């Protein structure tokens, strides 16, 4: 049904492998990806970690970071009273009361664009910085960071360098051609439960004493494994087993024990899956995990949009605001990039008619994203959308522009290469020869 | 590589098989390891063994012992059907006359439904059967295509006919499923179609080809056209004689040239794909049979004679050229009957060797002196865990319309759609079916996999509520000895050794002293499921 609607809206169907990249709308210059490498020399220390808050399904931009009170009821619905923030001139959606007190920490990008309205293809675009439909499946940012900030530099942590809280998206292969090793470790479980049962690491039912007994039983009973002796396949298997036991029985797994945190702080984050995921993400950053994605589901609000926003936005507001405050309090904000955003925004014009009855659909032509921390300059808005939030008005920001900026801040050369299939080296982001539209990297942020 | 050299490779078969001298097969210097190996000399059961063992002899490598019957039945089940035998099946097998029980079990497995499902999985990996990005077949077409592949295997369609139907397919993708061969690609244009055809049926990667040869191959696919119908996501694949060919490197439209460099004269009214298919399937074309035989061999031996099986090229020679030449000839002589081909391979002592090398120094050996140990495929591993524990996976389609309903308890091997997955399948390296390359499947063990198997609620819940264990305990007047034997037969397809019985006894005693005797059998099931013997094909 979404597809049919999408077609009516202008011939862009939901799941077609689109290669429409929002050209024209913003009159973007064909700049290519090779510009703006200045960030590497900005003098600030590079960021160490990223917390990516993935607004799964595509969050509304009008009701969050790009309010349009003058556009009228057809666009705003009941959410028509944006609120001032602690930065003069920046207003946010009325439900973001705590984030409004943290606007100084955030750079709000209001002119994100790619023109793609399919979940899979847009997710791929936004998280890999490559146009879908090519012969190769590129890795997404998390996998690249795991490569460049962990495996390439001898990461020894027992906790995998790329963590997903709590469920993987399954929209595309996060690791792309980098392969299995670069897939995220998805925690499973629910951090808001009494015990955050991280799949494999924390068992609700098996106490450490029994784990130890089992470990002993397994090693004494592995008759065939012993017969295989020093076979190379056994080397890989045994190394995996011993790393697994270190995580289950050693101290490394304690990072997931949220009961070690003060109850008041846990309350501030919100006693819900998203809030506690933000807390877990902060703990992971503290032990040096370079990339954490919080997959935050529920934003694909075709129906009952405003009813849902009434409950979801305060939850998001509490979790994200507390995360920024907590990172700041612990001196971690400057070294941690917090990236908020989804695969696209949602149609600014509310779909009041049946069957939607007040919903918002997919909208890739113009949407918002937020970057905070990591040495980025907060307290600013980058780019503007037009009166209705349907087009970037100036300074379009394409996914590769934004990712290039994030890579630079992490000390990863966005014009460099990553290992491709069969020993090749491939560009991390599209080069000028792909002739993609670009607004250039976000110099304003650094 | 020069085009001329490349062409020679395509046009001439391998040299005739040299005359063989019959050597007695030398025995390993070590004692056989029980209960995994069968003591005694290794016979040369068929021509495969002659060719493998004579090469090993020339290399000074001793083949290892034959595997035991317990290892064999498990291996045959896993390799041919992606399932494990039940305790009863193992007991029946071990009670059957020793003389031909191995051949009998192979015959039975080749006739089973599980064989069809497992081979369909393998072929659908190669054919990139998935609904979503980047292949975008869409659910209806996925179901139709998967059913067509399964039917081809059920009816024992010959490999050449299978290839012909796919390569020459036209029609409506929902009703003429082979037409999806031309849709299950990342780009619907001549070069991608040519690469796909070469990868699938020549076992060759066009990225390694000389530019002009690749263009020549693409010429055969330049008239493939597509149009949509009024049905949602239905598409027609057809031959469009008027479609302009894409331009080649010289700026001119590409022209069809065979990989051997010969230029066909193609009447404009004839679909060039037919001409290519006739060339590829001609009896004197060594390439088709070689790629097919090598692929099937790699599926059950764990490694191609040419490795990787989809990277055949002049500078990647077979590890045993005589064996490759024999199998490609024999596959054709068997009428491209895939079941007969498997029967031939499974009958060889080479297939039946133990996976414990004859000499610890030989662990990286690539000449088939032992069976190649490797981790079970993701789908097979979760299926056999569920087979014993009675657990189920729940799968659902990520695509809301048309929604694909997957009945609870359907084996993971039988899932048609590569886009329908689970965290487990992803973690254990199920291929994404993006490229059709064999290397997409990743069977490398990792720490994440181990913590999942050791300690995840997903696996723990299955083991602690195991239907298999409850069934064993529900037998009337069942003795501890029998419980233990049933558990071993159910999980590892063999009986426990005396040493293992002693260790289990000690463990049960320990749990009893801690007043946790109820945990003993669950922990033992857990340990057996986490053993190397269980998670590795061996």
Q: From the candidates B189, B532, B535, B538, which should be mutated to test the interface with A, based on the most A CB atoms within 10 A?
A: B532
| Residue that terminates a domain, selected from B356, B372, B388 | B372
Determine the length of chain A: 446
Q: pTM of the entire structure? A: 0.79
Residue B468 forms part of a structural domain: yes
Residues B164 and B192 in one domain: yes
Q: Which of A132, A203, A240 has its CB closest to that of B449? A: A240
Q: Does B230 touch chain A (CB under 8 A)?
A: no
Considering only alpha carbons, which residue of chain B is nearest residue A225? Answer: B532
Q: Give me the CATH code for the A2-202+257-445 domain, please.
A: 3.40.720
Residue of higher predicted confidence among A35 and B374: B374
Task: Say yes or no for a CB contact (<8 Å) between B454 and A1.
Answer: no
Residue B502 forms part of a structural domain: yes
Q: Does A180 touch chain B (CB under 8 A)?
A: yes
Task: Say yes or no for a CB contact (<8 Å) between A213 and B507.
Answer: yes
Lowest mean pLDDT among A115-124, A173-182, A298-307: A173-182
Q: Which two tokens stand for residue A337?
A: 């990039």
A-chain CB neighbours of B499 within 8 Å are 223
Which ipTM value was assigned to this complex? 0.91
Task: Say yes or no for a CB contact (<8 Å) between A180 and B444.
Answer: yes
Residues B129 and B277 in one domain: yes
- pLDDT at B162 exceeding the cut of 70: yes
- The helix/strand/coil state of B507 is helix
Lowest mean pLDDT among B174-178, B407-411, B501-505: B407-411
Residues B125 and B215 in one domain: yes
| Residue that terminates a domain, selected from B319, B344, B372 | B372
B-chain CB neighbours of A17 within 8 Å are 133-134, 136
Residue B406 forms part of a structural domain: no
Residue B12 class from Cβ within 10 Å (0-12 exposed, 13-18 middle, 19+ buried)?
A: exposed
Phi and psi torsions of A345, nearest 5° = -95, -160
Q: Does B140 touch chain A (CB under 8 A)?
A: no
Task: Say yes or no for a CB contact (<8 Å) between B445 and A221.
Answer: no
Structure confidence at residue B19 as a pLDDT band (50, 70, 90) = very low
**How far apart are the C-alpha atoms of B400 and B4, rounded to whole Å?**
52
**How far apart are the C-alpha atoms of B238 and B229, rounded to whole Å?**
13
Residue A18 pLDDT: 30
The mean predicted confidence, pLDDT, of chain B is: 92
- Considering only residues 240 to 259 of chain A, which have any Cβ-Cβ distance to chain B shorter than 8 Å? 240-241, 243-245, 247-248
**Angle made by CA atoms A187, A188, A192, in degrees to the nearest 5:** 95
Share of chain A above pLDDT 70, in %: 89
Size of interface A-B (CB pairs under 8 A): 180
Average pLDDT (B110-119) is: 98
Q: Which of B442, B455, B500 has its CB closest to that of A179? A: B442
- pLDDT at A13 exceeding the cut of 50: no
Lowest mean pLDDT among A152-156, A388-392, B69-73, B255-259: A152-156
- Residues whose CB falls within 8 Å of the CB of residue B451, separated by 6 or more in sequence, listed in order: A199, A200, A201, A244, A247, A248
Phi and psi torsions of B70, nearest 5° = -65, -45
Task: Say yes or no for a CB contact (<8 Å) between B136 and A17.
Answer: yes
Residues B17 and B102 in one domain: yes
Strands of B80-208, DSSP E? 171-172
Residue B257 lies in domain: 115-281
Residues B125 and B263 in one domain: yes
Phi and psi torsions of A148, nearest 5° = -85, -35
Count other C-beta atoms under 10 Å from residue A317's C-beta: 21
Q: Which of A168, A203, A222 has its CB closest to that of B423? A: A168
Residues B135 and B275 in one domain: yes
Task: Say yes or no for a CB contact (<8 Å) between B132 and A206.
Answer: no
Instruction: Residue B139: name the closest of B322, B324, B397, B336 by CA.
Output: B397
- The string of DSSP codes covering A347-360 is -SS-B-STTTSSB-
Residue A21 pLDDT: 37
**How far apart are the C-alpha atoms of B455 and B458, rounded to whole Å?**
8
- pLDDT at A199 exceeding the cut of 70: yes
A-chain CB neighbours of B432 within 8 Å are 137, 173
Considering only alpha carbons, which residue of chain A is nearest residue B205? Answer: A422
Q: Does B188 touch chain A (CB under 8 A)?
A: no
Structure confidence at residue B516 as a pLDDT band (50, 70, 90) = confident
Structure confidence at residue B7 as a pLDDT band (50, 70, 90) = low
Residues B101 and B122 in one domain: no
| Sign of torsion over alpha carbons B309, B310, B314, B316 | negative
Considering only alpha carbons, which residue of chain A is nearest residue B492? Answer: A224
Structure confidence at residue B277 as a pLDDT band (50, 70, 90) = very high
Task: Say yes or no for a CB contact (<8 Å) between A224 and B399.
Answer: no
Shortest Cα distance, chain B CAs vs residue A432, angstroms: 21
Residues B212 and B136 in one domain: yes
Shortest Cα distance, chain B CAs vs residue A235, angstroms: 10
- Per DSSP bridges, beta strands B224-228 and B235-239 are antiparallel
Residues B168 and B246 in one domain: yes
Residues B180 and B326 in one domain: no
- pLDDT at A1 exceeding the cut of 60: no
Q: What is the 3-state secondary structure (H, E, C) of A192-250?
A: CCCCCCCCCCCCCCCCHHHHHHHHHHHHHHCHHHHHHCCCHHHHHHHHHHHHHHHHHHC
| Residue that terminates a domain, selected from B372, B401, B427 | B372
Residues B107 and B119 in one domain: no
**Cα-based torsion angle of the residue sequence B288, B291, B297, B299 in order, rounded to the nearest 10 degrees:** -120
Task: Say yes or no for a CB contact (<8 Å) between B373 and A183.
Answer: no
Q: Which of B524, B526, B531 has its CB closest to that of A225? A: B531
Domain range list for chain A: 2-202+257-445, 211-252
Residues B180 and B293 in one domain: no
- pLDDT at A376 exceeding the cut of 70: yes
The count of domains in chain B is: 3
Average pLDDT (A408-437) is: 90
Residue A323 pLDDT: 98
Residue B46 class from Cβ within 10 Å (0-12 exposed, 13-18 middle, 19+ buried)?
A: middle
- Considering only residues 219 to 238 of chain A, which have any Cβ-Cβ distance to chain B shorter than 8 Å? 220-225, 227-234, 236-237
Task: Say yes or no for a CB contact (<8 Å) between B192 and A135.
Answer: yes
């Amino acid at each position: 049904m979404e597809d049919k609607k999408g077609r009516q809206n202008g011939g862009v169907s939901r799941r077609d492998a689109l290669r429409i990249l929002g050209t024209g709308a913003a009159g973007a210059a064909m700049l290519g990806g090779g510009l703006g490498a200045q960030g590497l020399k900005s003098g600030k220390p590079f960021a160490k970690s990223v917390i990516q808050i993935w607004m799964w399904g595509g969050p509304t931009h009008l009701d969050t970071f790009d309010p349009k009170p003058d556009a009228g009821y057809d666009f705003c619905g009941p959410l028509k009273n944006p609120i001032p923030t602690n930065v003069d001139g920046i207003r946010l959606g009325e439900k973001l009361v705590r984030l409004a007190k943290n606007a100084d920490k955030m750079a709000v990008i209001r002119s994100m664009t790619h023109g793609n309205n399919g979940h899979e293809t847009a997710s791929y675009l936004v998280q890999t910085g490559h146009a879908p439909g090519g012969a190769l499946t590129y890795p997404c940012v998390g996998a690249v960071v795991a490569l460049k900030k962990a495996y390439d530099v001898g990461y020894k942590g027992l906790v995998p360098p790329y963590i997903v809280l709590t469920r993987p998206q399954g929209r595309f292969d996060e690791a792309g051609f980098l392969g299995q090793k670069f897939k995220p470790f998805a925690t499973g479980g629910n951090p808001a439960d009494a015990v955050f049962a991280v799949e494999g690491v924390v068992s609700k039912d098996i106490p450490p004493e029994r784990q130890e007994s089992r470990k002993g039983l397994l090693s004494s009973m592995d008759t065939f494994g012993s017969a295989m002796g020093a076979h190379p396949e056994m080397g890989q298997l045994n190394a995996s087993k011993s790393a697994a036991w270190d995580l289950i029985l050693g101290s490394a797994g304690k990072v997931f024990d949220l009961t070690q945190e003060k109850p008041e702080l846990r309350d501030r984050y919100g006693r819900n899956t998203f809030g506690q995921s933000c807390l877990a993400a902060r703990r992971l950053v503290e032990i040096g995990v370079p990339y954490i994605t919080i997959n935050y589901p529920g934003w694909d609000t075709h129906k009952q949009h405003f009813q849902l926003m009434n409950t979801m936005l305060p939850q998001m507001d509490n979790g994200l605001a507390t995360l920024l405050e907590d990172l700041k309090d612990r001196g971690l904000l400057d070294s941690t990039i917090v990236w908020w955003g989804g695969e696209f925004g949602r149609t600014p014009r509310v779909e009041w008619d049946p069957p939607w009855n007040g919903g918002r659909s997919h909208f890739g032509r113009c949407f918002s994203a937020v970057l905070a921390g990591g040495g980025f300059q907060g307290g600013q808005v980058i780019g503007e959308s037009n009166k209705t939030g349907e087009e970037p008005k100036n300074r379009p920001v394409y996914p590769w522009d934004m990712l290039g900026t994030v890579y630079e801040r992490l000390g990863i050369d966005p014009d460099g290469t990553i290992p491709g299939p069969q020993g090749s080296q491939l560009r991390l982001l599209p080069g000028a020869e792909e002739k993609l539209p670009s607004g250039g990297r976000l110099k304003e942020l650094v | 590589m020069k085009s001329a050299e490349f062409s020679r490779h395509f046009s001439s078969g391998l040299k005739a098989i040299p005359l063989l001298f019959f050597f007695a097969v030398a025995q390993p210097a070590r004692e056989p390891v029980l209960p995994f190996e069968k003591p005694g000399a290794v016979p040369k059961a068929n021509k495969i063994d002659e060719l493998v063992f004579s090469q090993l002899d020339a290399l000074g490598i001793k083949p290892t012992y034959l595997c035991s019957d317990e290892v064999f039945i498990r291996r045959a089940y896993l390799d041919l059907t992606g399932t494990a035998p039940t305790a009863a099946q193992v007991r029946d097998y071990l009670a059957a006359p020793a003389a031909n029980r191995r051949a009998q079990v192979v015959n039975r497995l080749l006739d089973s439904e599980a064989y069809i499902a497992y081979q369909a999985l393998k072929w659908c990996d190669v054919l990139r059967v998935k609904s979503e990005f980047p292949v975008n077949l869409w659910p209806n077409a996925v179901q139709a295509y998967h059913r067509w592949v399964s039917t081809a295997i059920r009816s024992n369609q010959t490999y050449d006919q299978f290839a012909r139907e796919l390569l020459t397919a036209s029609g409506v993708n929902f009703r003429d499923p082979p037409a999806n061969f031309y849709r299950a690609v990342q780009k619907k244009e001549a070069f991608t179609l040519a690469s796909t055809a070469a990868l699938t049926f020549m076992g060759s990667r066009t990225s390694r080809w000389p530019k002009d040869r690749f263009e020549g191959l693409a010429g055969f696919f330049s008239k493939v056209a597509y149009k949509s119908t009024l049905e949602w996501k239905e598409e027609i694949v057809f031959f469009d004689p008027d479609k302009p060919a894409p331009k080649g490197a010289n700026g001119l439209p590409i022209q069809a040239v065979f990989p051997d460099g010969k230029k066909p004269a193609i009447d404009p009214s004839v679909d060039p794909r037919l001409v290519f298919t006739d060339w590829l399937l001609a009896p004197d074309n060594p390439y088709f049979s070689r790629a097919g035989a090598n692929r099937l061999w790699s599926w059950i031996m764990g490694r191609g004679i040419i490795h990787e099986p989809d990277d055949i090229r002049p500078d990647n020679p077979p590890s045993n050229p005589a064996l490759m030449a024999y199998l490609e000839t024999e596959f054709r002589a068997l009428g491209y009957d895939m079941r007969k081909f498997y029967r031939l391979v499974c009958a060889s002592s080479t297939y039946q060797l133990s996976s414990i090398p004859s000499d610890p120094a030989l662990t990286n050996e690539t000449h088939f002196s032992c069976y190649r140990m490797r981790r079970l495929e993701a789908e097979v591993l979760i299926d056999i865990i569920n087979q014993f524990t009675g657990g189920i996976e729940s799968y659902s389609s990520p695509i809301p319309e048309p929604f694909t309903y997957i009945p609870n308890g359907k084996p993971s091997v039988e899932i048609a759609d590569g886009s329908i997955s689970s965290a487990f399948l992803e973690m254990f390296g199920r291929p994404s079916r993006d490229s059709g390359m064999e290397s997409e499947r990743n069977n490398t063990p990792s720490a994440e996999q181990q913590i999942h198997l050791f300690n995840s609620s997903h696996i723990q819940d299955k083991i602690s509520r195991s239907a298999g264990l409850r069934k064993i305990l529900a037998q009337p007047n069942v003795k501890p000895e029998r419980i233990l034997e049933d558990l071993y037969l159910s999980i590892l397809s063999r009986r426990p050794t005396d040493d293992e019985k002693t260790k289990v006894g000690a463990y049960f005693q320990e749990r009893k002293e801690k007043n946790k005797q109820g945990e003993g059998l669950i922990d033992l099931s857990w340990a057996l499921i986490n053993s190397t013997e269980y998670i590795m094909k061996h």
